[in-house]
Amino acid sequence: MPTTTRRPLPGRVPTDVEVAIVGAGSAGLSAALVLGRCLRRVLVLDGGPPRNAPSPAVQAFFTRDGTAPAQLLDMGRKELVGYDSVEIKQAKVVGLARRGKHFELTLEGETGRRSTRTARKVLLATGVEDELPPLPGMRELWGRGVLHCPYCHGWEHRDQALAVYGRAKLVTGLALLVSRWSADTVVCVEDPANLTENARRRLRRQGIAVHEQPLAALEGTAGGELRHLVFESGEKLARTALFIHAHQHQRSPLAEEMGCRLSSKGAIWVSKQHQTSVPGLYAAGDNTPGTQQALLAAAEGSGAAISINETLTREECPK
């Protein structure tokens, strides 16, 4: 990796790179682009596919609406080729530790071989993992017939026969939202006893029927399209998409292991500068609080990169 012309910091142990970015999704690659343009020595660790890998397309991404997830990231990687201070490495970060004023990362390559790298700052762009309800068909249809977000997939399923599944506490809001895309929306409640009279009235007013019978399975095509909801009685209901409010957890345990403050929902707390509660450790994208979309993750990655570069600059140019 080429070095920049900046002088080494007096009194500081030189590090392999200035910034290590963990994760090569929208947030990570966008951050790498900004930092590459700042002549920063950057190592991006790519530990596997992004969250939306099962989906056929990234929708609602300005200028890239409908691009396949892998293609979007491929374009991002190609843009980085011109910035020779940026290296992308296929490796999972399996350990992160503070060593005085810098960080040490333990990488695990595709062959399982471990190595270490040091960096002055680290950006966690590690995303989240969705927890799907344990029903037959749910995992197989995830991303095509089973969906989480009408902003991402509502337009493709407008005016179709839709369903919304989940616990009473969350299902009403999602069903009312989904019904903006199709008047033929029904609700399947996991715990009907908890569905309040007010929620039932709101759903009724929008013509949304409530199915209280437990859902047993989903039937669909080998290509992931939903065909039927199957209830415990064996009764089937034809639907083209099922929206769910999936619980999620951090894709990587690194933030928790580093003692970062997490929100009540398990997101990594960050300051306006995208810094976690651990100085020098930043986070951006789905793993932080807020709306989760690829374009927003890219914007957060860009914002985090600017904050990191400004912090590095302040350290290099003391008052």
Name which of 59 and 172 has its Cβ closer to ligand FAD. 59
- Look at residues 98, 83, 110, 103 and name the one whose alpha carbon lies nearest to residue 16: 103
The token duo for 205 is 């007013």
Name which of 115 and 194 has its Cβ closer to ligand FAD. 115
Q: Whole-number minimum distance, CB 75 to ligand FAD, in Å?
A: 14
Q: Whole-number minimum distance, CB 65 to ligand FAD, in Å?
A: 9
151: exposed, middle or buried (C-beta count within 10 Å: 0-12, 13-18, 19+)?
middle
Name which of 195 and 305 has its Cβ closer to ligand FAD. 305
List 209's β-bridge partners, or say none.
Answer: 186
**Tally of CB atoms within 10 A around 218:** 25
**Tally of CB atoms within 10 A around 98:** 15
Q: Residue numbers of the site for ligand FAD (CB under 6 A)? A: 22-28, 45-52, 54-55, 58-61, 92-93, 125-127, 130, 143, 148, 152, 251-252, 254, 285-286, 292-295, 297
Q: Whole-number minimum distance, CB 124 to ligand FAD, in Å?
A: 8
CA separation for the pair 132, 144 (Å, rounded): 14
Name which of 37 and 92 has its Cβ closer to ligand FAD. 92
Q: Whole-number minimum distance, CB 217 to ligand FAD, in Å?
A: 20
Q: Whole-number minimum distance, CB 159 to ligand FAD, in Å?
A: 19
Name which of 25 and 187 has its Cβ closer to ligand FAD. 25
Q: Whole-number minimum distance, CB 53 to ligand FAD, in Å?
A: 8
Name which of 13 and 53 has its Cβ closer to ligand FAD. 53
Helix spans in the chain (H): 26-37, 69-80, 138-141, 150-153, 168-178, 197-205, 254-257, 294-316
The token duo for 286 is 């789905």
Show the beta-strand stretches assigned E in 51-169.
86-99, 102-109, 114-124, 128-131, 146-147, 162-166
